[in-house]
C-alpha cells in the first residue's frame, strides 16, 4: 500500500509522460521545478547520451526546465512518441518533504507524417528527486527536482 505522497508522485509522473507525448510542454510547469536538472546517461558506459542534430552533436544534459523544454519541444515537433511507465516505482524517503524515486520506462518514437518510415523503441530507468512545494495557488504538491535517465537500450529500424 503506497502513502498519499507516493500516490501523488506516481500520478505526477504519469502526467509528465502524457504532457510530453501530447506535446503540452507548457503544462510541465505544474509538476516540474524551473531549476530541475536533467541528465541522460547510457547505463552500460556511464557516458552522457549525445544526439546528432543539424547544429552539431547535443549532449543530453540540461540545467533547467526551460532549457530541457526548448530542446525537446523542438525535437518532438515532427515526432509521435509514447512513454510507458512500468510499475509503481521504487520510493526512498529522504525526508518528509523529499523522495528519491526510480521508475522503469519503455518509450517509442516515429515520424508524425505517414504510416511508413523509421521507428525507434527504447527503455531504461528514471532516477528522480521529488520535493514538496506549493503550486501557483499556494496548495501543497509534489514537484520534480532532478532527473537522471539511465538508458538501457535504444533500437532504431527503418
| Predicted local distance difference test score (pLDDT) of residue 11 | 97
Least reliable range by pLDDT among 66-70, 77-81, 95-99, 111-115 = 111-115
The CA distance from 83 to 72, in Å, is 14
Burial class (CB in 10 A: 0-12, 13-18, 19+), 79: middle
pLDDT tens-digit map of 6-65: 999 999 999 999 999 999 999 999 999 999 999 999 999 999 999 988 889 999 999 999
Ordered structural domains, the chain, with CATH: 4-157 (3.10.450.50)
CA distance 153 to 43: 9
**Segment (H or E) for 18:** helix 4-21
- Taking a C-beta distance cutoff of 8 angstroms, is the pair 63, 147 a contact? no
Neighbours of 13 (CB within 10 A): 23
CB 65 within 8 A of CB 34: yes
Specify the pLDDT at position 1: 64
Amino acid at each position: 500500500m503506497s502513502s498519499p505522497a507516493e500516490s501523488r508522485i506516481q500520478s505526477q509522473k504519469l502526467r509528465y509522460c502524457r504532457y510530453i507525448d501530447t506535446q503540452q510542454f507548457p503544462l510541465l510547469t505544474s509538476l516540474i521545478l524551473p531549476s530541475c536538472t536533467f541528465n541522460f546517461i547510457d547505463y552500460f558506459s556511464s557516458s552522457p547520451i549525445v544526439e546528432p542534430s543539424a547544429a552539431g552533436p547535443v549532449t543530453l544534459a540540461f540545467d533547467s526546465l526551460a532549457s530541457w523544454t526548448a530542446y525537446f519541444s523542438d525535437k518532438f515537433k515532427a515526432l509521435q512518441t509514447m512513454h510507458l511507465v512500468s510499475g509503481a516505482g521504487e520510493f526512498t524517503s529522504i525526508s518528509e518533504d523529499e523522495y528519491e524515486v526510480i521508475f522503469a520506462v519503455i518509450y517509442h518514437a516515429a515520424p508524425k507524417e505517414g504510416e511508413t518510415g523509421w521507428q525507434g523503441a527504447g527503455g531504461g530507468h528514471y532516477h528522480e528527486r521529488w520535493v514538496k512545494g506549493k503550486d501557483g495557488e499556494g496548495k501543497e504538491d509534489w514537484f520534480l527536482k532532478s532527473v537522471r535517465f539511465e538508458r538501457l537500450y535504444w533500437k532504431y529500424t527503418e
